[in-house]
Amino acid sequence: MSGNRSNSNNHRSAALAFVDADIISGKDELAGEALMSNLAAYHSSGVAPLWVNWLRARADLRFVCLVRDLQEFNNFMLDVVRSVEGVRETRTMLSFSGRADIESLLELEMEVNPSSQTIATSLLIDVQPGMDRECFQALLDLPPHPDVRRVWLLNTYHSDDADLMMLLLGKNVAALTGYVMSWVRTTPGVIDTEMSTVLDWRWLANSDDIVDLVELFFDQNFQG
């Protein structure tokens, strides 16, 4: 029984931090390379960089960390991220729980890259207050789609940007747009959505980080 309590406590203390680094125009390549180098070299039990994406709309860099120590994460942001020349500002969104299709998650580096036919979209979802649990469950219960896969659905209720975050993979932009318009935006409790295309995916995590991500963070697997 004590082992279960310990795992539960670790689960509650873990968070995923999604950080968008806004890079000054003209310094994209140099700042991006310097930030990537810093992230790849950093690893501790308190903060573990997991992966990096490029965002099509802003040509900025988004990276994700598994955070167990918020004070260390604060120092990490100051010394590893915001100290890089060319980083203009950063925005952070924290998530403390969610669901994932683990198989799809582990295949993202192969599927999401400039030469791939797969389109990846990060979807921010605003939810009507008071309908949070019902809306989350309704989105989980959406049936399989022939051209779109859900990778994860995350809680981000404390964020100014959105209440939920969903990652979608699709065969083309039309399929993803249709899915969001006809399936997600018609779900009871959803009041608004915002899509952004993910251009590239690069894993920084080692195998232990990925095991910890699955065991400590995601409540259970679901079929995307």
Q: Are 39 and 101 in contact (CB under 8 A)?
A: no
Residue 177 neighbours by CB distance under 10 Å: 13
Average pLDDT, stretch 6-10? 44
For domain 2-97+201-218, give its CATH number from 3.40.50.150, 3.30.365.10, 3.30.70.920, 3.40.50.9100.
3.30.70.920
Q: Are 27 and 85 in contact (CB under 8 A)?
A: yes
The two structure tokens encoding residue 7: 């795992």
- Cβ-based neighbours of 99, under 8 Å, separated by 6 or more: 140, 152, 153, 218, 219, 220, 221, 222
* 3-class state of residue 7 by DSSP: helix
Residue 32 neighbours by CB distance under 10 Å: 20
Least confident of 30-39, 86-95, 98-107: 98-107
CA distance 50 to 64: 6
- Model pLDDT, residue 222: 64
- Cβ-based neighbours of 105, under 8 Å, separated by 6 or more: 151, 152
- Model pLDDT, residue 11: 47
**Per-residue pLDDT reduced to its tens digit, 154-184:** 999 888 889 999 999 998 899 999 999 999 9
**Per-residue pLDDT reduced to its tens digit, 104-158:** 887 787 777 767 788 889 999 999 999 999 999 999 999 999 999 999 999 998 8
pLDDT exceeds 60 at position 8: no
pTM over 0.75: yes
Domain boundaries, the chain: 2-97+201-218, 98-199
Q: Which of 15, 91, 96, 36 is nearest to 58 (CA)?
A: 91
- Cβ-based neighbours of 37, under 8 Å, separated by 6 or more: none
**Per-residue pLDDT reduced to its tens digit, 78-92:** 999 999 999 999 999
CA distance 183 to 138: 10
Give me the chain's average pLDDT, please: 86
98-100 β-sheet, strand order: 87-95, 15-23, 60-67, 47-55, 190-203, 119-127, 164-170, 148-155, 98-100, 218-221
pLDDT exceeds 80 at position 65: yes
| 2-97+201-218 and 98-199 have identical folds | yes
Classify domain 98-199 by CATH number. 3.30.70.920
Q: Are 194 and 123 in contact (CB under 8 A)?
A: yes
